[in-house]
A and B are shown apart, each in its own frame.
Chain A
């Protein structure tokens, strides 16, 4: 038991068995800070200049419209001041304070890297860049850089989410303030379509929308929102507003004030539109509008004078999947917001709305292109390459025009009476729409495909293609200041507690200082550090509380995943904590407790501190030994990566025993995740494989394996001072002596410098089990 101090969170690595490496696959040559190393809530080294410009991909009004005047009617690189750079990308550049930030990718094959560039607004000259090497993602066909950077209007800091799930905060000058590896820490999932999403900056918060399969109650894959302190990266809350996703929908939420609350709205992969309290993560209401996912960003539409009251806006959503009440695919609909009074009774939240919430509907199909709101007009590009103009009050279509054969992710933007519309085929259209029609002014053919939305800032129009980043000059507009909405001070009383960090992955040997904050009914902070908060004991063996309230985790602490409770002033709250090994460890699974499973055979759960393992692995007895088995119950889980350690770990070797069942047609595959490399024995291919992205980085050698035979796999990763590395692995029948030579050695010129240990299994079509046993993580030396 302890009383929480007002001290900020401090993570101290005390004599770790292995030296911690910088987080992430960056090779910028800059210094690194571990996750959450900046002080919670403090300014750190961030810039203080307030931002003007286009700070998130949806623009300053969150609806794709610009407030600038005097924008160009025609776009040309020949116009003085226009520029372009060779940089493939699929998102939207963001602009503030004379600097343009864009996420793109360069190189190919092994050398491909995502790159966050900071450019001079007037010349396009590169001021700084930060590079990221993909790891363990399923992205194919170079579908990189779909997300966009977000700029904090208050500090000028820049936030980016990379394809493999690193969420990073940089200062205006490129210094990294914090980083989270969402996959290894929280079980964020990866998808071949490359969708990543962008960070929402709202007041003091950085909010991220991911699909993850974590641990405990967050084990089942769901759309989840993770909220961090935007300065420190400390977790403030995580939230699960919907059900099982049918798609990876990672739309950027929009935010609004509703009766003193700060709320965010977002479409989910389960087909719901959800509204969350941005300060607490509570789900306030949701409504299902589709059986599939909603990728597109939402619009907030002011209600009429006789509407529900001030501050409440209706929501316009569009999707491209099956509807609930019609077999016609896709729909745009306007949804009525519940009254603020209805949200006031916490016991009745979340409110589940139904069809009655629908104000109007229009038969439009868009999977990920987002609508633009201009007054009472909604502009939307759809699947078949048409641009539609819809009355926001009635849903009546005023007109539509076909601009291309199709549209995928790209969205229009509006400014100064003009609509700038990029299409998938690389055509870029300038229109001057009115009630009667689109009034096309220009069609420009760009190099590459357009998948992002344009941006408007200081009279320039920007658009990113899969070949270039364009900045078209010719306008004389001036960027308007972007609203920064700090949370207002509370004038109420504390009715709930919030533990910070709320959802944390700690490594053995780490010291974590918790802070308990009191919030009022609107989620505003009443007390930054509640005195006398008491936690519910030590979560696991090897954890102690210091006198000043920090949690000290011993190097040999027993790994765990727990939901801790805290009490203060008659209030209770909880915090999720996962403690993972950080150093040598091994598991032969012999201490697992088994109980009869569905088929009567005794089975046990995988280790609770693993992420992404529940229902995908189980412990069984094979020939008198307890071993880890890939489950076959659900073919959705036929292929699984699970992390068992911490992303900062480096300089280690791994060893595991592997056996597959099968026949001459089908064998299964298994192996380890080792410092962001996947090293596996592939049954059907009779190969030993080292990969990090199956398309970009994959090397194999032949390796014969038979069903029913145990093999031993030993792996090792070494990284040199110049950043290059060698991945080595050897495999042999377990009953035979270990061979001297490595079976495979793979050089990686830009090696991953750290990464969580994990396990991998793939049972094609869930036909035959594959087993792991005697898992070991060992120091390299």
Chain B
């Protein structure tokens, strides 16, 4: 096939749109980093930062291009161009912001076509520091869907970045990229090219891989659609779900004996333990949920939203099974699907992917004040359906549940005794975190893929329609107080705040929002 990409337009993009541009001299805000998905292992989507700017204009495109006209923005510190699809939620640590996307707006001409990317930008101006650019698996939609890019949110600790790749790998990267030389893993040139292809020369603005653990080779995982967990760092260990899932036919899991959750040594990538609770024999679709960590005075548990609709709690110390393998010790599991979601009035099993049928745990369960909050949901391709929000105590017992919510992929926020949640149908909920009592519900009219963020007294969330909805994070609600900002492109990730700056990734651009001087 003739490649009809219009080279002149690409050149224009490379020379203009891909250069992040600082728009305004901004007021430096003080605050904290957001170094991993959910900010910390509680995954509670709340930032303590103050002075967050929510009065801004995201600008307009120049004609029918994908370049945003700087003159049409307001209170935008800088904008960095991403690919065409960006599901990887940004994280910020030590003056650098990391975000997953695809290669559709290639920043380096040696990387051509559909690939997956993590960009490391400077938070001062959005300038590129380095990128990890990964070839596709070549399986097609079943295991590495075209153009999905990196959906994992990088976790940063010290001088290391941990991320899950589209190739079903857990990776450890150097925060400095290749600028300080190649450390650890040495075959980046072959990795970038893909197995069997001529090597790609690696430069100073490429990622430095420290180690790679392939979950298919090591555990037999059959990833479904995309591997996308945001890993959790606890001590010397990192935890990740595997994205083990169903086959192309969506009925059967080809790898029923592969684990859905594993724990690795963060220094070496060696797998230390795996879930052996049989999750993979009960997978509805895939396991994409990211783990959280519950720590009280009496217990420490890794919390995992299962692909079968249960929340699992595993003790952090593995035990050896009868075959000599280290397995995670299951402390408890809680079925987030009410019985009537699994069986109908006649006692017959309800089919998955039907409106009234059961769902997996897709959003990340969060931990707050010794309790776990979880929602159930499904791949948006399955449409809307009934959901359930459950509050579970540290012993795995239900505290309360709220069934008015629809299917949800979102991760929640608890602050000041209020729980904020969202569902795929586009509703935002404010509940009493202790009792589950509903304070208010807001309809955004658009599908919601991302998660709530509460910062500086405001709740923020993006929608597929491309709007950022901002609502006072109080139990009182007035439609007059709801604000919608047109972000120019669909939003499939979640806003974060770090060092007082609001970051929002649309499908195509990463915005840094800060009040102008």
Q: Which A residues are within 8 Å of any B CB, using their own CB?
A: 138, 140-141, 192, 242-244, 246, 270, 287-288, 291-292, 321-322, 324-329, 352, 354-355, 361-363, 383-384, 402, 405-406, 424-425, 449, 634-636, 638-639, 663-666, 684-685, 694-695, 698, 762, 764-765, 767
**Contact mask B80-120 → A, CB, 8 Å, 1/0?**
01111100000000000000000011000000001000000
Contact between chains at A762 and B254 (CB < 8 Å):
yes
The docked-state distance in angstroms from the alpha carbon of A140 to that of B247 is 12
Question: CB-nearest residue of chain A relative to B82?
Answer: A327
The interface residues of chain B lying within 8 Å CB-to-CB of A362 are: 64
Which of B3-11, B175-183, B331-339, B454-462 forms contacts with chain A? B3-11
The docked-state distance in angstroms from the alpha carbon of A497 to that of B226 is 49
Which of B23-31, B132-140, B299-307 forms contacts with chain A? B132-140
Contact between chains at B507 and A405 (CB < 8 Å):
no
The docked-state distance in angstroms from the alpha carbon of A666 to that of B244 is 13
Decide if B383 is an interface residue (CB 8 Å cutoff): yes
The docked-state distance in angstroms from the alpha carbon of A14 to that of B388 is 64
| 7 more A-B residue pairs beyond the given contacts A684-B220, A684-B254, with a C-beta to C-beta distance below 8 A | A141-B250, A292-B147, A329-B507, A355-B4, A402-B465, A635-B137, A665-B219
Task: Given A327-B66, A328-B508, A765-B139, answer yes or no on A243-B9 (Cβ-Cβ < 8 Å).
Answer: no
Q: CB < 8 Å: which of B138, B258, B384, B490 contacts A405?
A: B384
The interface residues of chain A lying within 8 Å CB-to-CB of B489 are: 328
Decide if B126 is an interface residue (CB 8 Å cutoff): no
The interface residues of chain A lying within 8 Å CB-to-CB of B257 are: 664-665, 684
Interface of B is mostly: loop
The interface residues of chain B lying within 8 Å CB-to-CB of A666 are: 216, 220, 255
Contact between chains at B4 and A288 (CB < 8 Å):
yes
- Ordered by A's residue number, 23 sampled pairs between the chains whose C-beta atoms are within 8 Å are A140-B249, A192-B249, A270-B1, A287-B4, A322-B84, A327-B83, A327-B104, A327-B105, A327-B508, A329-B490, A354-B4, A361-B64, A384-B446, A384-B447, A402-B465, A405-B445, A635-B139, A636-B139, A639-B248, A684-B254, A695-B249, A765-B216, A765-B222
Contact between chains at B146 and A292 (CB < 8 Å):
yes
Decide if B166 is an interface residue (CB 8 Å cutoff): no
Question: CB-nearest residue of chain B relative to A365?
Answer: B490
Contact between chains at A243 and B64 (CB < 8 Å):
no
Contact between chains at A405 and B104 (CB < 8 Å):
no
Q: Which of B1-47 contact A (CB under 8 A)?
A: 1-2, 4-6, 9-10, 13
The docked-state distance in angstroms from the alpha carbon of A664 to that of B220 is 9
Question: CB-nearest residue of chain A relative to B12?
Answer: A325
Q: Chain A CB within 10 Å — which of B249, B250, B464 has the most?
A: B249
The docked-state distance in angstroms from the alpha carbon of A328 to that of B81 is 11
Q: CB < 8 Å: which of A384, A636, A765, A767 contacts B140?
A: A636
Q: CB < 8 Å: which of A322, A639, A694 contacts B104?
A: A322
Task: Given A328-B66, A665-B220, A765-B222, answer yes or no on A405-B4 (Cβ-Cβ < 8 Å).
Answer: no
Nearest-neighbour CB distance to chain A for B388, whole angstroms, equals 20
Nearest-neighbour CB distance to chain A for B164, whole angstroms, equals 16
Decide if B252 is an interface residue (CB 8 Å cutoff): yes
Contact between chains at A243 and B138 (CB < 8 Å):
no
Contact between chains at A244 and B1 (CB < 8 Å):
yes
Decide if B382 is an interface residue (CB 8 Å cutoff): yes
Contact between chains at B84 and A140 (CB < 8 Å):
no
**Contact mask B399-423 → A, CB, 8 Å, 1/0?**
0000000000000000000000000
The docked-state distance in angstroms from the alpha carbon of A639 to that of B61 is 43
Contact between chains at B252 and A694 (CB < 8 Å):
yes
The interface residues of chain B lying within 8 Å CB-to-CB of A425 are: 384
Contact between chains at B465 and A764 (CB < 8 Å):
no
Question: CB-nearest residue of chain B relative to A698?
Answer: B251
The interface residues of chain A lying within 8 Å CB-to-CB of B10 are: 325
Decide if B353 is an interface residue (CB 8 Å cutoff): yes
**Contact mask B365-393 → A, CB, 8 Å, 1/0?**
00000000000000000111000000000
Decide if B143 is an interface residue (CB 8 Å cutoff): yes
The interface residues of chain A lying within 8 Å CB-to-CB of B247 are: 639, 762, 764
Contact between chains at B139 and A326 (CB < 8 Å):
no
Q: CB < 8 Å: which of A326, A665, A698 contacts B258?
A: A665
Question: CB-nearest residue of chain A relative to B5?
Answer: A324
The interface residues of chain A lying within 8 Å CB-to-CB of B13 are: 326-327
Contact between chains at B147 and A635 (CB < 8 Å):
no
The interface residues of chain A lying within 8 Å CB-to-CB of B139 are: 635-636, 638, 765
**What's the interface size class on B, roughly?**
35 or more
- The 7 A-B residue pairs whose C-beta atoms are closest, nearest first, are A665-B220, A243-B1, A325-B9, A694-B251, A327-B84, A325-B6, A140-B250
The interface residues of chain B lying within 8 Å CB-to-CB of A684 are: 220, 254-257
Decide if B298 is an interface residue (CB 8 Å cutoff): no
The interface residues of chain B lying within 8 Å CB-to-CB of A244 are: 1
Contact between chains at B248 and A192 (CB < 8 Å):
yes
Nearest-neighbour CB distance to chain B for A422, whole angstroms, equals 15
Contact between chains at B353 and A141 (CB < 8 Å):
yes
Question: CB-nearest residue of chain B relative to A329?
Answer: B84
Q: Which of B211-270 contact A (CB under 8 A)?
A: 216-217, 219-220, 222, 247-252, 254-258
The docked-state distance in angstroms from the alpha carbon of A665 to that of B215 is 11
Contact between chains at A138 and B249 (CB < 8 Å):
yes
The docked-state distance in angstroms from the alpha carbon of A288 to that of B4 is 7
The docked-state distance in angstroms from the alpha carbon of A244 to that of B2 is 12
Task: Given A326-B64, A384-B465, answer yes or no on A140-B384 (Cβ-Cβ < 8 Å).
Answer: no
Question: CB-nearest residue of chain A relative to B6?
Answer: A325
The interface residues of chain B lying within 8 Å CB-to-CB of A325 are: 5-6, 9-10
Contact between chains at B383 and A765 (CB < 8 Å):
no
The interface residues of chain B lying within 8 Å CB-to-CB of A634 are: 138
The docked-state distance in angstroms from the alpha carbon of A288 to that of B220 is 39
Contact between chains at A665 and B255 (CB < 8 Å):
yes
Contact between chains at B251 and A695 (CB < 8 Å):
yes
Contact between chains at A138 and B248 (CB < 8 Å):
yes
The interface residues of chain B lying within 8 Å CB-to-CB of A192 are: 248-250
Nearest-neighbour CB distance to chain B for A404, whole angstroms, equals 9
Decide if B346 is an interface residue (CB 8 Å cutoff): no
Nearest-neighbour CB distance to chain A for B238, whole angstroms, equals 21
Contact between chains at A242 and B1 (CB < 8 Å):
yes
The docked-state distance in angstroms from the alpha carbon of A322 to that of B10 is 14
The docked-state distance in angstroms from the alpha carbon of A322 to that of B4 is 13
Contact between chains at B250 and A635 (CB < 8 Å):
no
The docked-state distance in angstroms from the alpha carbon of A348 to that of B377 is 54
Decide if B425 is an interface residue (CB 8 Å cutoff): yes
Decide if B478 is an interface residue (CB 8 Å cutoff): no
Nearest-neighbour CB distance to chain B for A318, whole angstroms, equals 14
Decide if B65 is an interface residue (CB 8 Å cutoff): yes
The docked-state distance in angstroms from the alpha carbon of A13 to that of B249 is 37
Decide if B426 is an interface residue (CB 8 Å cutoff): yes
Contact between chains at A402 and B248 (CB < 8 Å):
no
The interface residues of chain B lying within 8 Å CB-to-CB of A361 are: 64
Q: Chain B CB within 10 Å — which of A291, A361, A663, A698 has the most?
A: A291
Contact between chains at A636 and B138 (CB < 8 Å):
yes
Contact between chains at B1 and A685 (CB < 8 Å):
no
Contact between chains at A363 and B251 (CB < 8 Å):
no
Q: CB < 8 Å: which of B81, B82, B85, B425 contacts A329?
A: B85
**Contact mask B434-462 → A, CB, 8 Å, 1/0?**
00000000000111000000000000000
Nearest-neighbour CB distance to chain B for A85, whole angstroms, equals 22
The interface residues of chain A lying within 8 Å CB-to-CB of B251 are: 140, 694-695, 698
Nearest-neighbour CB distance to chain A for B265, whole angstroms, equals 20
The docked-state distance in angstroms from the alpha carbon of A192 to that of B66 is 33
Question: CB-nearest residue of chain B relative to A352?
Answer: B2
The interface residues of chain B lying within 8 Å CB-to-CB of A140 are: 249-251, 353
The interface residues of chain A lying within 8 Å CB-to-CB of B446 are: 384, 405
Contact between chains at A424 and B383 (CB < 8 Å):
yes
The docked-state distance in angstroms from the alpha carbon of A765 to that of B4 is 31
Q: CB < 8 Å: which of B81, B84, B222, B507 contacts A764?
A: B222
Question: CB-nearest residue of chain A relative to B258?
Answer: A665
The docked-state distance in angstroms from the alpha carbon of A327 to that of B285 is 29
Nearest-neighbour CB distance to chain A for B382, whole angstroms, equals 7
The interface residues of chain A lying within 8 Å CB-to-CB of B353 are: 140-141
The docked-state distance in angstroms from the alpha carbon of A61 to that of B257 is 55
The docked-state distance in angstroms from the alpha carbon of A767 to that of B217 is 8
